[in-house]
Each structure stands twice: as structure tokens, then as C-alpha cells.
Structure 1
Amino acid sequence: MKSILSLLFMLQGIFLYSQNGLPPNAGARGAAMGNTSVAFQDINSAFSNPAGLATIPRWGVTAMGEQRFLIPEIRSVAAAGAVASKAGVFGVQFHYFGLEAYNEQRLGLLYARQIFRDIYLGAGFDLLNTRIPDYGSQLNATGNIGLQANFAEPLWLGFHLFNPFRIQRNNGEYFPTLMKAGFSYQASEKVLLSGEAEKDIDFPLRWKGGLDYRLLEALFLRAGFSTQPVQGTFGAGIDLKKGLRLDFAFQWHQILGWTPAFSAVYQAPESQN
């Protein structure tokens, strides 16, 4: 355990920055595509941009797990659900990250709806709890807001802002304020391209890109990259029909190594009775 804690403190600029109150990856699909997800539309948008929930036809649920850098003690697990109504789409999400000696929990309430013909709006309220057993817990509240636009049929644009009010911890440190803007482009029936720029106001700009290729009707192959730090990603998805999909991803960090991820998604089809 001491060696793990030493690793966390030595690499806090790389590793703890990867969470520190930030939302989790948008499922293993997004993780496999360089963590590009701000312009996607499915239940995993609960983690990356709530505006993407606005197109859910009925309801959906998802669950995800990551094994950070193949260290058994360090876990990241998340789950979310959303339901559509005449007033919009309402959702909830939960995320746990960390290990016994340090962990974070997040509970989020979400709302999304179409506000104009081609524009969708989403917002979330987040409760963030940080727990260190020898020092107790600290609870903070913040929020996030997102937009998506579909002005041309194959192209979606997305924007997301997390923690716009610069919420502080009791020790005076700020939770990250993170801005993301990007696109997803359906280049053909088989190829989806995605790109994203991400800026934490305290860190350099990150660039991310991803590719989703439909090899077979039920099988998707994916790859991507991100910068600051440089990471490569790849994975696959299996469409089991009737709204159920399984996704797998592997992320490679040039210093810390591999992070595998798995997620399961179910979205009730619009035609389902």
C-alpha cells in the first residue's frame, strides 16, 4: 500500500488530475475513441455532456468499470440512468474513484431537452464527496452545462462546461473548471469520426481524436488518441440488438501503462411497447 500511495503523490500532476472531481469517461466507447464524447448522443452522455441525453427516445441505463493502470486497488466505477418525458429527459449518475486510503464519490442529477429544431441543452447538479479515512470526508456541490447542435445531418457539434463557478475545497484548492468542444461526423454508414479540444483553466489544452468503424453489423472497432499527456486508445463494441450493447476499451499511458475498461449500455427502443 505504501508504494501505491507514493506513486499517487509523485504523479499527482498526471494521475490525480485525471479525476480530482472531474466526471468519468463516457463509457468504454468514448474511452476507446480517445475519450472523445462531447458530441455523442446516448445514455453515456450522462458523464460527458448532458445535452446528449435529449435524444433518448424512452429510457436507458449504463454501467462502467475501469482498472486504472492495472493496479487492483485503484478503481473507477460509474452508473447512470435517464428517462424521457414530455417535459424533457431526466437522469441520475453515480461515480466512485480511488482506493481505500483516498476516494471520491459523485452523485449527479441531470436534465436535457431540445430547445430549438437543431439545438439541444443539458445541465447537471453534482454532489462531490472526497474521503480520506484518517482525515474524514468533505462534501461540495457544483454543476455543469452542455449544448449540442445538428445543423447538418451527419455532423454533430458539442460543448460542455464543468464547474463554471470555480468551487473551492475547504483547504482553499479549487475543483477543476473544464471546457470541452468537439464534433462527431458520420463519414459513411460504417465510419464515425470524432474530435475534441479540452481545456482545464489550470492546465494546457488537450487534443483528442477517435474513429469508430463498423466491421460487421454487430461489431464495432475503435481507436483514438489524446495529448497532455500522450495516450493511445483502442477497443471494440458488440451490438446485441434490442437496445443492448457491450463495449471494451484499453488506454495506454506512456509512463503509467494500461487501463482496461468495460461498459454495458441499454436504451429502450422507441418502438418498444
Structure 2
Amino acid sequence: MRCFSLVLFLLSAASPAMASFEETPADARVFGMAGAGIALSDYSQGGTGNPALTAWCGTQSVSAGAALPFGLSDLASTAASAGYQRGRYGLGASLVTTGNALYRESTLRAALAARCFGRIAAGIGLGGRHLAIERYGSAAAVGLDAGLIGEPYEGITVAVAAENLNRPALGASGDEAAQTLCCGASWRPVSQATLAVQLQAQQGWPVQLRIGQELRWRERLFLRAGFCDRPDQASLGFG
């Protein structure tokens, strides 16, 4: 109960601030579903996006991926993550790096989560963020993340997650790292299909909508598609 109350307080205290780090989903599954991943019930992503996932999915996981936003190599993003769960508890770690030699953003995260009730999990995480700009130097900050996920009805999960609750400042300039608040849900009408939706908010930016779906054939072939607005982007893939 204390775990649930603490994380709920942290989430309610979050008020999104101006973004300084761009989040690009490089994980193959989440990218294929247009980034709608904070409420996926069977995939931890190493706690990326939602620390509570590491204690929820019930499986161990390792993943890696890369993405080229808008087809620009200068914005190339790569990511790797791992999650481990034992009993009620879960651990996760992830690394995401975006940019090139002139401008690079990197985030290293660690997450810890626990199932506080039978159908609720709560998690907290630390994110070390590093920004390097050639000829201008570099700056680093450590942010506090938190998340919740639950299953109010069988096959339906809902989640909320917040990043940089402590509003960490990057370097001597005092510029704050991106503070983000996300709400999402996923639905598995049948065991072979998953539908997901996610709303993402940052102060000074319009609320972003992400919608994704996944179809599975005998757990060997996966077809994924998704849509994200602001900016309008569509994704489609299989594996």
C-alpha cells in the first residue's frame, strides 16, 4: 500500500515542462506500434516509458533497435533494453542515444517496480541524461521517473507514467530536461491481437496521440501498424 501511495503522489505532482530531449522509439515493437507502449501487458522494454512494466509483464526480455526519424541520418536513434522479473518485483535498464558527432542526446535508465496488489504494479526509475554539442561542450542531469499499470478488466490494461518529476537542470544554463506525462491503455480482444492507445503531454506542446495494433499468427509472425499525430507519422512492419 505504501508503494502504491508513494508513486501515486509522485505522478500527481508532475506538471509537464518544456521539452529539451526528444524521445524516439527505437525498439522494434514499440516503433511498429507508433510508440504506444506504456500499457503493453506483456513487454517490459526495460522500463523505458513506464518503470512499472518491469514487474508486470511476467517475462524476462532483451531487445535492441534503431530508427531514422524522417529518414535523416543526423537524427539516427539506437536503443537497447533488458528486463528481469522475479516474484512480485522487476528490474530494468535501457540505453537510448540520438544524433551524430555534432549533436548527441543519450539517456541511460534504471527501473525498479513491484506488484502492490494483484492487478496493480508501481515503479520508479532514474534516468541519466547527457547532451553533447560540438564546440559548445556537454551537460548532464539525472531525472526521476514513475509509473503505474493495472488491469481493471481481463484483457484491458491502463497505465500512467511521468518522466523527470524533479525537473533536472542541464548544465550551468539551467535549462530543464523534458518533463513528460503519458496516459495509455491496451486491449487484447483475443490472444492473437493487441490494440493500444497513448496520450503524451508536454508543456508548451499540443497533446500527442499514438495508436498502435499488433496481430500475431501462431506466435511466430507479427504484423504491426500505428499512427502518431503532431507530427503526422504512420508505421507498418512485420517480424
Contact 1:159 1:179 in 2 (8 A): yes
1:39 and 2:39 aligned = yes
- What is the TM-score with the length of structure 2 in the denominator? 0.84
1:107 and 2:108 aligned = yes
Deviations 1:176-235 (A, max 9, x none): 211111110001233211111111122111112111122454112111111111111111
Aligned-partner Cα distance in 2 for 1:70–1:136 = 27
Aligned-partner Cα distance in 2 for 1:125–1:164 = 10
Deviations 1:222-255 (A, max 9, x none): 1111111111111113xxxxxxxxxxxxxxxxxx
> Which residue does 1:96 correspond to in 2?
97
Task: Give the ranges of 4+ consecutive aligned residues of structure 1 lying more than 6 Å apart after TM superposition.
Answer: none
Q: Give the 3-state SS of the residue equivalent to 1:48 in structure 2.
A: coil
Q: Give the 3-state SS of the residue equivalent to 2:176 in structure 1.
A: coil
Range with greater deviation from structure 2 (60-69 or 154-163)? 60-69
Contact 1:199 1:206 in 2 (8 A): yes
Greater C-alpha Rg:
1
Aligned-partner Cα distance in 2 for 1:26–1:38 = 14
> Which residue does 2:199 correspond to in 1?
197
* Identical aligned residues as a percent: 24
Aligned-partner Cα distance in 2 for 1:52–1:188 = 21
CA deviation after TM superposition for structure 1 residue 83, in Å: 2.1
Aligned-partner Cα distance in 1 for 2:70–2:204 = 24
Contact 1:119 1:150 in 2 (8 A): yes
CA deviation after TM superposition for structure 1 residue 74, in Å: 3.2
Aligned-partner Cα distance in 1 for 2:22–2:163 = 8
Which residue of 207, 213, 216 maps to 1:214?
216
CA shift in 2, pair 1:22/1:142, >3 Å:
farther
Number of positions where the alignment pairs a residue of Structure 1 with one of Structure 2:
219
The residue type equivalent to 2:131 in the other structure is: T
Contact 2:132 2:139 in 1 (8 A): yes
Alignment map for 1:55-94 (pairs within 5 Å): 55-57=56-58, 59-86=60-87, 88-94=89-95
CA deviation after TM superposition for structure 1 residue 100, in Å: 0.8
Q: Give the 3-state SS of the residue equivalent to 2:73 in structure 1.
A: coil
Range with greater deviation from structure 2 (81-90 or 133-142)? 81-90
> Which residue does 1:149 correspond to in 2?
150
CA shift in 2, pair 1:213/1:58, >3 Å:
closer
Which residue of 162, 187, 190 maps to 1:188?
190
The residue type equivalent to 1:79 in the other structure is: A
> Which residue does 1:266 correspond to in 2?
none
> Which residue does 1:5 correspond to in 2?
none
Aligned-partner Cα distance in 1 for 2:124–2:237 = 29
Range with greater deviation from structure 2 (79-88 or 29-38)? 79-88
Deviations 1:21-58 (A, max 9, x none): 35442622111112101101313152221111113546
Contact 1:43 1:62 in 2 (8 A): no
Aligned-partner Cα distance in 2 for 1:121–1:22 = 25
> Which residue does 1:176 correspond to in 2?
178
Aligned-partner Cα distance in 1 for 2:88–2:197 = 31
Range with greater deviation from structure 2 (115-124 or 72-81)? 72-81
CA shift in 2, pair 1:55/1:39, >3 Å:
same
> Which residue does 1:120 correspond to in 2?
121
Contact 2:26 2:77 in 1 (8 A): no
Alignment map for 1:229-244 (pairs within 5 Å): 229-237=231-239
Deviations 1:40-82 (A, max 9, x none): 1313152221111113546321111112333334321111122
- What is the TM-score with the length of structure 1 in the denominator? 0.74
Gaps of 5+ in 1: 1-18, 238-273
